Structure 1
Amino acid sequence: MTAFTPQIQSVLEHYELRMLEEQFRMQQLSPEEGMAKRDDFLLPVGKAGAEFIHSMILAANAQKVLEIGTSYGYSTLWLADAVTHTNGKVTTIEINVEKSNYAEHQMQKAQLSDYIDFVCSDVLQYLTTDHQPYDLVFIDVWKELYVPSIKLLIDQLPVGAYIIADNIIHPSHHKEDAEAYREYIHSTQQFESVLLPIGSGLEVSRKIK
């Protein structure tokens, strides 16, 4: 079990309460209504997935961590706490200003701001000019952006770097994009990759050449 500071624990409890409230609200919506209102909800990786990614950062001693899709900052909290133990930093990208500001405010309350660079931008535009050699990338954005995002990143990732992609098993309406991502990762022959049934499905890929 991860040991958090009181400040981080307080923010985590805030997120978990919001998640419970949103689960109830989402149950009242049709699938169509849920899609229309998706920007209103956290839609986080979930605790099991977050704990796994946190442990991966520690095990890999990852110092340069990239998050593609900040959303409201739930996973950002876990990533940032992990890099406090590796003397690292998280760069997190989000196009929605409201979400990015919300996440930044929560990270200030958690006293993690010094470990995070917030980027409010279109992810593909940002990655076109960003050439950092990230040690670990977590991608949890709209699924049609998975392949183009990784195509922009692949050449700058060092051997041994990890990519962790969320929502590869669920929800089912993203199945086509999820399969396209897995096919792309395997087709490059630059990664060893495995799909783990954690949360909504995590594809964990390690660059080998």
Structure 2
Amino acid sequence: MLDELQQANEYIINKIIEKDTLILEMEEFAKENNVPIVTKEVAEYLKFLVDSHNFKDILEIGTAIGYSGTIMGRIAKKNGGKLTTIEIDEVRYNQALDNFKKGDLLDTVNVILGDGTVEIKKLDQTFDFIFIDASKGHYMEFFKDSIERLNDNGLIFIDNIMFRGYLYKEYPKRFKTIVRRLDEFINYLYENHNFVLMPFGDGIGLVRK
């Protein structure tokens, strides 16, 4: 059954034909420099979800090089909104700024250099959509701070929530704490929120307020 799921996933990925030069450039950079970005099928789903709901004001926790931020920022710009994105690594922060500039998004995207566990608390606005893809060990804290800033009927999209499959298969001992925290986080979401867990990409969690 697992092999069939993997084959289905590969089939979907092979059907996704990307033509945008900036997106392709970022994908190549991420591959060559081992930068974690959302997988192709997750990127497609993210774009479909944000665009279908006409989300305007978006918060992203974990900018990296601006790959998912570019996808969401373009939709926010089209809808007359803005993307606020937080990145803790200064090198990645500057790379993201360069990519947002290339994508003509600097007037639409507010890039914050800092720790999400600190910076989210400083935000004094609310959002229609929140995308979490940063330090896995802090997902619970990111979520609890974020949902306070989510508008009614808004969505939170949590990427990599199954952490390389380590939640259900053998994993290196150094990841024990992260795996335990993510498993506890998933239990918390099921018990307390309108939550769905989907096993594609590296695991996606969706919460609707």
Give the CA deviation at 1:3: 10
CA distance in 1, matches of 2:116, 2:30: 25
Deviations 1:42-86 (A, max 9, x none): 111112111211111112211110000001111111111221332
Alignment coverage as a number of residue pairs: 184
State which of 11, 27, 32 in structure 2 corresponds to 1:16: 27
Q: Does 1:176 align with 2:187?
A: no
Structure 2 CA distance for partners of 1:2 and 1:90, relative to 1, 3 Å: farther
- Determine whether 1:187 maps to 2:197: no
Q: 1:102 to 1:20 in 2, by over 3 A?
A: closer
Q: Which residue does the alignment assign to 1:30? A: none
CA contact (8 A) 2:56 2:75 kept: no
Within 1, Cα distance between the matches of 2:120 and 2:28? 33
Q: Does 1:197 align with 2:199?
A: yes
Contact 1:168 1:175 in 2 (8 A): no
Which one-letter code corresponds to 1:181 in the other structure?
A: F
- Describe the shift of the 1:192–1:14 C-alpha distance in structure 2 as closer, same or farther (beyond 3 A): same
SS of structure 1 residue aligned to 2:151: coil
Residue segments in structure 1 that go unaligned for 5+ positions in a row: 23-40
Percent of residue pairs bearing the same amino acid type? 27
- SS of 2:195's equivalent in the other structure is strand
Moved over 4 A (4+): 1-4
Q: For 1:146 and 1:12, how far apart are their aligned partners in 2?
A: 27
Is 1:110 the equivalent of 2:112? no
Residues 169-207 of structure 1 show CA distances to partners (whole Å, capped at 9, x for unaligned) of: 23114532322222222333xx32111122111101111
In the TM superposition, residue 2 of structure 1 has moved relative to its aligned partner by: 9.5
What is aligned with 1:29?
Answer: none
| 2:71 aligns with one of 78, 81, 96 | 78
Deviation at residue 165 of structure 1 after TM alignment = 0.5
Deviation at 1:21, TM superposition (A): 2.9
Amino acid at match of 2:185: Y
The one-character-per-residue Cα deviations of 1:132-170 (angstroms, maximum 9, x if unpaired) are 211110000011111111112223322211011111223
- How many angstroms apart in 2 are the aligned matches of 1:161 and 1:181? 20
Q: Pick from 148, 152, 158 the counterpart of residue 159 of structure 1.
A: 152
Unaligned runs of 5+ in 2: 1-14, 167-174
2:5 aligned partner: none
TM-score by length of 1: 0.80
Q: Are the aligned partners of 1:58 and 1:85 in contact in 2 as well (CA < 8 Å)?
A: no
